[in-house]
Amino acid sequence: MSRLLAWLLPWRWLGVVAIGLWGMVMVQLYYHKPGGKALKELYPWAVKEKPFIGVAWMGMFMKGKKIGYSYHETRKDGDGFRIVQRSVMKLQLFGFRQKVTTFSRVWVDKKYRLNRFLFSVKSPVANLSATGEVKGQRLAVILNTAGTKRTLSLQYRPSLLPSAVRAYIASAKLPPGHKVKTLIFDPLSRSYSKSVIEVVRHETIEIDKKKHKALLLKQNFRGLILRAWIDKDGHTLKERSPTGMMLVRQSASQAVKDIEEGFDMIRATQVNFNGKIPDAEKRKSLRLRIRKVSLQAFPDLKLGRQHLKADSLTIQKEDFTKLPRLSFPSKQKRRYAKVSLRLAARATALVQSDHPSIIQQAQKITASSKDRLAAIKALSSWVNKNLQKKIVVGIPSALETLQKKVGDCNEHATLFAALGRAVGIPCHIASGLAYRRGSFFYHAWNECYVGEGKWLSVDATWGQLPADATHIVFVRGGLDKQFSLIQLLNQVSIEAK
């Protein structure tokens, strides 16, 4: 199958945006003004103000084309409330059509505080679900992927839902210019991120030929600027992000109709590139200019084989012959002092390097390897040859990928990281942009620690070791880090120097 199939934007991020930002994320907030009120002072409002009871439907659009819909329902449940959200997206990626469904159900108490939740993402070849329950000061989460459950215990901070924040702003009648600071928790990446919601102005907007009085809110989340228009009760009428995605309030019958069957998401988000890069795979170095995005938001651009000065980026391809050759397998388990090495060596909920199936397969692949470089080469070759190159919309799991042996660059990179870590090789998942046939596309690959402070780039999807110099690392790490790439969509511009 053509390597074109590997030119993939990790579209799990689109699903995370649609559901994460517009649904199943929890928010801890405090009202910000001179003198600073504490978080607890908002809880009397949360008790007094009742949430919207009923059903809301929204059409989901990308650059004016309808790609799906979302459904939101809030009902009384005992002394509290039950909030259900579902989104359906129909995507076309290089000719492959996929239906992606995300679902969440959240239970809150009468004070609108989280009690428990369940969440799932389903696509043709990738499925993941998570459940969570607040127990005292801890949030117990069970992540289910590839038929395997992993239990996690996280510190929990009292939280409200985004819809509660908007209802608060509406009921408090905050004037333009006022701000509310928030801390958003994403249960999938298990991370907190700061966010600020600003009241911009009152506007009259038109939806389906009807005019509505609305309050425009602007939210800054990890460098991504989201805009939402709410009515006087805090109900969302429209939402828009710079990625080109927009949600619009519709009736139930309208929301599920007229969904574009052949909308190509890859072409819709193609990176603006000016210039040519001849013999890209053979180049020892490359200089590029990156524009129209805040490069300060991506400190990883300055690390490893990359050197950034202003908006000029230089990438120096590794010389394989000059890399250190550590013994393999290690006679004793290495303990790393640096945080970056410890993070690149540990098992996670989606990089299950401690699972017996992953360990067994990694040991089998590297059985005849005499040093670490040879082991890395063997692992990369095996992943490249044994995974069917097919676009997958979902959240990549190493164990599920090993079982199904199918996936795009995200699945290749996730499985490679798990196999490498399973045999004692620290491996990052690197995400960013890479060049193929005249343009840059969103891509994921790996970096392996080879000793003496040096890392080696590995692209198991394209079969490159080291990865060619057109691979631009914007972030290293899991979902909590990869989410930052959203701010590049339809914004970043690259010029060849």
- Quick: pLDDT tens for 379-388: 999 999 999 8
**pLDDT confidence of residue 4:** 26
DSSP bridge pairs for 485: none
Could you tell me the pLDDT band of residue 254, with boundaries at 50, 70 and 90? very high
Amino acid in the structure at residue 432: G
Could you tell me the pLDDT band of residue 402, with boundaries at 50, 70 and 90? very high
Q: Per residue in 276-308, pLDDT tens?
A: 899 888 999 999 999 988 888 899 999 999 999
- Residue 223, pLDDT above cutoff 90: no
Cα–chain-centroid distance for residue 111? Answer: 30
**pLDDT confidence of residue 271:** 82
Of the candidates 328, 257, 261, which has an alpha carbon nearest to the alpha carbon of residue 96?
261
Q: Per residue in 360-382, pLDDT tens?
A: 999 999 999 999 999 999 999 99
Amino acid in the structure at residue 472: I
Q: Per residue in 128-177, pLDDT tens?
A: 788 888 888 888 888 787 677 878 787 777 665 555 666 667 666 778 88
Whose tokens are 């990626």? That residue is: 93
Q: Which segments within 111-147 are labelled E, that is strand?
A: 114-122, 127-135, 138-145
pTM comes to: 0.74
CA dihedral sign, ordered 412, 417, 419, 425: positive
Question: What's the whole-number mean pLDDT along residues 463-468?
Answer: 94
Distance CA 397, CA 227 (A): 32
CA dihedral sign, ordered 39, 45, 47, 52: negative
- Residue 127, pLDDT above cutoff 90: no
**pLDDT confidence of residue 125:** 63
Decide: helix, strand or coil at residue 277. Answer: coil
